[in-house]
A and B are shown apart, each in its own frame.
Chain A
Amino acid sequence: MNKKVLSIAGALCLAFTCSTLAAASNLDAFLDKCGACHKSGAEAAPVNPADKAGVVWVKYFKRGRHPGDLNATINADEMANIVEFLKNHAADSDHPVAAVIPK
């Protein structure tokens, strides 16, 4: 019984750790890889995930529309994380609603 409970707890902990890392890696990949060039004053303008719908982001990279060769700096896993992040924050994603705060 104890072994079973420990196994379930272990599996949950593992899944918990994996999901946590996955969520973090999407943001990290976006910030580290995209943010290296896409920021104020850098070689590319800041990118807003809400500029395109989620499916449009997928097509954008599938069609190789990004200028320059990304393969040299971003591997497949990182690209998958970036696209996942962009989809989760895309124009057609759920977004907060409140009176606007100007910047």
Chain B
Amino acid sequence: MKKTLVGLSVMLAMAGSAYAGSETVTIPAADYKAIMERLDALQNRVETLEAKPQAAAPAVADAKYDKVSKDIDTIYDSIDALETKSIKNKINFGAELRVRYDGYTAKDFNTVNMAAFQQNMMNGMMPNQAMGMAMSHHDKVNDDNNWTNRFRINMEAQITDSLQFHGRLAMYKNWGDSDDATSSDMLNDFNRSHRPGTSSLWVDRAYVDWVPQGSPIPIALTVGRHPSTEGPPFELRENRMRQSTYPALLFDGENDGVVVTFGLDRYTGLKDAGWRFAYGKAYHSDDDNNTGHPFPFFDDGEAGDATMAATFFETQIPGLNNSLAVLSYARVWDLPFYFTGPKLYETGMPNTDLGDLDIWGVHLQANDIASTGLDFFFSYGGNRSKANGNAPLGLFGLLSSDGQSNHSGYSFYTGLRYTLPVTPLNMPKVGFEYNKGSEYWFSMTMATPDLFNKLATRGNVYDVYYIQPVNKHLFFRAGYLHVDYDYTGSGQHMGAPMPSDATLDNYYFLMDVRF
């Protein structure tokens, strides 16, 4: 603007004094003077305006801009720190704590004093006679003050888009339990975490799911110590979501192995459909207790490995949301006499393998049927033994005394749970379950949540419970189970089942916290 005015004044001055271009303009001196004064006034005004701190208004805006800019930088710094921390925090942790009270009443059952049995054998008795002499009958035994703590640390990590890790560390103990082999005057349950002990850390689960990208067919590899405990439908009474790949009636154990899963949704139109192939081991004993072996990590050559291979097909039942159908088949080769190592603890009897076992089953489950709050399941399992002729002491063949005969068994397991529509009580749940196993029923279910293996029962089991949620992290459960045994040896694969009139009643109350 200043330049414009200066230019204009020059032009006017030129015009006033002599000419403009080729034409001469003459104006009165008074007018010329007035114009010049006017120009001077404008010039002064411009200079005054320019001299004023015109940046005052922009200065405020700049300050605000600077502050916002600094704030954004601060936020970016914070986000950088959080992102870095997030990336370094490779594992997300969760935890579970359960405190449970149990009371038991057992009737009409026998116990065997294994030390007396061994002594009887050393005294030259025949095995049957030695066993009979070491056996005691009990009409009724109460044990009504049992408390346990179970603590779990759950872990998961999304390593990459196609790789996930899951893990669980666990502690599960009786209150004050000090009678295991590691206890001593210096080390017992009262000071176990405050004295040097062992480097043991129980790992319940540690596995990765790998879904290779770009595969022409959907395939996943799950390797490690698997999610193979407390499977469907146990999540109903556990008041949580599904916890295992395998139906609880057939397989409930901590298992190391490999599972290959093919996704079938796109081929079958079924939802959550998959076909799995599993390989794992149920038993292995190396030779680390043999100080004379140069390679003590080799198999001890006694019972050998018990190897498992299985296949499963599962899908959501068509037309039924929140449902599950699983067809299963598994074979276990070379089941050992016992799962506790090369020598039976009480007797020192060497281990050996007894034969093979086939297990199959079907599991059907529908949760929250038609949004009614009703859950229902039915599970069937069958088994067939293939004894190899081994029968330690002539008593403990595979599902037989002599190890010469093969046997088939079955079990079915059904039940329902209903979510009571009582909002003030946080929607409590009631459930009833029933299972029945035949004389030769046996499956791989050694890690059930109850201290006794109800799904291995050769007889009838009635289970009723009530779940009282407090919030999403805390619930209580009270329940009663009645077990009516028809045959002995429930949950054991060695020896011949014998008729039994034994019963077991269990009433319990537990508090469960998960976060």
A contact residues vs B (CB 8 Å cutoff): 12, 15-21, 23-24, 93-103
Contact = CB atoms under 8 A, between A and B. Distances in A.
A102 B422 contact: no
B421 A101 contact: no
Contact of A102 (B218, B227, B235): B218
B164 A100 contact: yes
B115 interface: no
Given A16-B372, A17-B421, A96-B242, 13 more contacts: A20-B373, A98-B227, A99-B207, A99-B220, A99-B259, A100-B209, A100-B222, A100-B261, A101-B273, A102-B261, A102-B263, A102-B274, A103-B265
Interface size bucket, B side? 35 or more
6 contacts: A15-B422, A19-B373, A96-B235, A96-B241, A99-B226, A102-B215
A25 to B, nearest CB: 9
B187 interface: no
Nearest to B424: A15
B128 to A, nearest CB: 45
For A15, A17, A21, A98, which residue has the most chain B Cβ atoms within 10 angstroms? A98
Contacts of B137: none
B276 interface: yes
Interface of B: 164, 166, 207, 209, 211, 215, 218-220, 222, 226-227, 231, 235, 240-245, 259, 261-263, 265-266, 272-274, 276, 314, 368, 371-373, 419, 421-423, 427, 472, 514
A1 B211 CA distance: 62
A101 B261 contact: yes
Q: Which of A12, A96, A101 has the most CB of B within 10 A?
A: A101
B235 to A, nearest CB: 8
A102 B421 contact: no
A12 B421 CA distance: 7
Contacts of A12: 421
With most chain B CB atoms within 10 A of its CB, the pick from A21, A99, A102, A103 is A99
Nearest to B166: A97
A15 B243 contact: no
A100 to B, nearest CB: 4
A97 B155 CA distance: 12
Nearest to B370: A20
Given A16-B373, A23-B368, A103-B266, A98 B421 contact: no
Contacts of A100: 164, 209, 211, 220, 222, 261
Contacts of A18: 421
A102 B220 contact: yes
Contacts of A21: 371
A36 B294 CA distance: 69
A20 B209 contact: no
A23 B219 contact: no
B71 to A, nearest CB: 17
Contacts of B276: 99
A19 B242 contact: no
Contact of A20 (B164, B262, B371): B371
A101 B371 contact: no
Contact of A94 (B241, B272, B273): B241
B241 A99 contact: no
A102 B207 CA distance: 16
Contacts of B265: 101, 103
A27 to B, nearest CB: 8
A99 B227 contact: yes
A23 B227 contact: no
